Amino acid sequence: MNFLDLVKKRQSDRKYTDQPVEREKIERCLEAARLAPSASNSQPWEFIVIEEPKLREKLANATFSDLVRFNRFVPSAPVLVVLTSWRPKLHIVLGGILKNRQFNLIDVGITAEHFCLQAAEEGLGTCMLGWFNTHKVMKLLDIRRPQKPVLIFTLGYSGHKTIREKKRRNIDDIRRYIS
């Protein structure tokens, strides 16, 4: 598939069918994520794949509450993937302080998008979630500091019939050439 076509195909899916996701497809998504670049090749991430229904339901319930309702679709996803990160090595932390950048979060963003683009290539839908109860997720999955969950992905076959049109700023508003 042409890369731009793949990027246009990838969307945040909030509706899934109950069709199980094949392990081979999950593994290819994880392999694409594993190959992502990172500062000083630190690879400050781990992917925790949750397929087990009862744990998946508990984890899904940690993404919304009576007050925060926008993630109510999460229980419909047949697979949840938690992306964790940990504090980077000292030289990366020092470089981040000097440059005022959190390189581990940049790295996590890159690996997350690799995962989601591969999922789209596999015919799967995803949605990246940054809103969840961190303490509850850590307890459910026995995650210990300095490791910390930073994103949760829903993963499954999309229940949407079409790909939504991307609503983005005009290219002229985000581009500037200096020749």
- Give the sheet arrangement for strand 148-156, strand by strand: 45-50, 79-85, 148-156, 125-129
pLDDT of residue 66: 77
Tell me how far apart the alpha carbons of residues 137 and 61 are, in angstroms, rounded to a whole number: 10
pLDDT of residue 89: 63
Q: Token digits for 135?
A: 């303490």
- Mind listing the pLDDT tens digit for each residue in 35-90? 999 988 889 999 999 999 999 999 999 998 877 788 999 999 999 999 999 876 66
- Mean pLDDT confidence for 133-151: 95
3-state helix, strand, coil in the chain (%, to 5): 40, 15, 40
Q: Which amino acid is at 128?
A: M
pLDDT of residue 39: 83
Asked if residue 156 lies in contact with residue 21, where contact means CB atoms within 8 angstroms, the answer is yes
Q: Where in the chain are the domains?
A: 29-160
Hey, what CATH class is 29-160 in?
alpha beta
Tell me how far apart the alpha carbons of residues 73 and 94 are, in angstroms, rounded to a whole number: 40
Asked if residue 158 lies in contact with residue 17, where contact means CB atoms within 8 angstroms, the answer is yes
pLDDT of residue 93: 63
- Mean pLDDT confidence for 12-35: 97
- Mean pLDDT confidence for 143-168: 93
- Mind listing the pLDDT tens digit for each residue in 89-124? 666 666 666 666 777 888 999 999 999 999 999 999
3-class DSSP string for 41-105: HCCCEEEEEECCHHHHHHHHHCCCCCCCCCCCCHHHCCEEEEEEECCCCHHHHHHHHHHCCCHHH
pLDDT confidence bin for 7, thresholds 50/70/90: very high
> Residue 24 pLDDT more than 90?
yes
Check the CA dihedral 75-25-51-82 and report its sign. negative
Q: What is the largest CA-CA distance in the chain?
A: 58
